[in-house]
Amino acid sequence: MLQQPLAAAPDQPTEPTSWQDTVQWRINEMAERVRRGQEDNVYYFLQPVAELDGAHVLVRGRKKLMFASYSYLGLLNHPKINEAAKAAIDRFGTGTHGVRILAGTLTLHEELEQTIARFKGTDDAITYSSGYATNLATISTLVGRNDWVLSDKWNHASIVDGCLLSRAEFVRFRHNDMDDLARQLRKAPAGVSKLVVADAVFSMDGDIVNLPVLVDVCRRYGARLMVDEAHSLGVLGKTGRGIEEHFDMPGAIDIKMGTLSKTIPAIGGYIAGDKRTITYLKHVARAFVFSAALPPPVAAAAKAAFEVLEEEAPARKAILQRNVEHFLGGLKALGFNTGRTVTPIIPVIVGTDERAMAMTHLLQEDGIFALSVLPPAVPDGTSRIRANVTAAHTAEDIEDALAAFARAGRALGVIA
């Protein structure tokens, strides 16, 4: 993600001359970029957090206000979730006997999947070891040679990698442009299987996919629809059930993907859908068949988190929405460019890589844990600070963050 131009390291050639040289050149180049960033005091990736205290974290002896968290509803360290994880260790230990399809399935795994299916309104569900593995395995299992897979251009990297791995005809349509999607679908040969994949909430800009029109286009052209709800679970819908609830369209999505590491404070990913599809994935998806099962405390924590969502989501969502409106409104009033976001993912677009990294430095020194996002994760010229608001923030926290952003923005000439 460090993209500023740098000279070659002293011990490497300027231009690689062989495959081996190319690999080593890339390794050396990244090492040099990291070293320069650290030397210039603008490298803030991979910071080790020593303690969690609500919306605050302790980093290298300094307490900072966290604005890079995916814990949208503030469920990290929720007592019910923590107790469930501890009880699972007492009962099952810290691991399993292997992969799920052989000796690794516990009653906990079945209970978690039943809980997810109930929460998402489907027949069944499957869980994987990570959200990335979920997209990679599911897409590459559902489509293959001679099929078509169509992906929004702003989809997450895990979706893109799943499409590439599938070896299907991979077509990208313009971001949230359903007319372009329809044009691409019309090009598909008659009789081919078609899968359309989109994020529900786009992770770099915070905007929401146009689900009503997306569903209409997919049905019109006979395509199955898969939606990644990594950033919409707990965020969209009155009870946090996601984008179908947000648009009042229950059952509109064929394949519902989500993660267990954002609103749900664990690790892993899931697919919720009809029983036949889930059975197929459990016997064919390589990242499920050949990956070790989720550890018992993780599965128990995720299950408890869904139960907490059912009990507490409306109240926590009200706090989250208040915080989003407070922070986003404050940034706009200061003159920052926040793009098209309508969710807790709030991009503060500053333009150049150097300016984004300098702003990260000023914010971090001011006690705000926020990070820059640079190309190729975002288009050239749109480097940004991606600030995530959560229900753990207080109104005072929001005001403190706005003041810090104002100081940094003025110091760098981002705002007047």
The residues that are catalytic are 203, 231, 262
Tokens of 36: 């320069």
Instruction: Report d(CA 168, CA 144) in Å as an integer.
Output: 5
Q: Is the peptide bond before 376 cis (omega within 30 degrees of 0)?
A: yes
- Element housing 2 (H / E): none
226: nearest Cα among 205, 204, 243:
243
* Beta-carbon contacts of residue 382 (< 8 Å; ≥ 6 apart): 349, 351, 375
163: nearest Cα among 176, 154, 150, 153:
150
- SS3 at position 75: coil
* Beta-carbon contacts of residue 205 (< 8 Å; ≥ 6 apart): 154, 339, 340, 341, 345, 347
Helix ranges (DSSP H) in 77-170: 79-92, 107-120, 131-142, 157-166
46: nearest Cα among 24, 26, 30, 27:
30
If you count them, how many residues does the chain have?
416
* Beta-carbon contacts of residue 128 (< 8 Å; ≥ 6 apart): 134, 137, 268, 269, 270, 271, 285, 287, 288, 291
Instruction: Report d(CA 150, CA 227) in Å as an integer.
Output: 12
344: nearest Cα among 393, 301, 294:
393
> CA torsion 386→390→393→394, rounded to 10°?
120
Instruction: Report d(CA 240, CA 252) in Å as an integer.
Output: 17
* Beta-carbon contacts of residue 348 (< 8 Å; ≥ 6 apart): 331, 336, 337, 338, 359, 384, 385, 386, 387, 405, 409
Instruction: Report d(CA 157, CA 232) in Å as an integer.
Output: 17
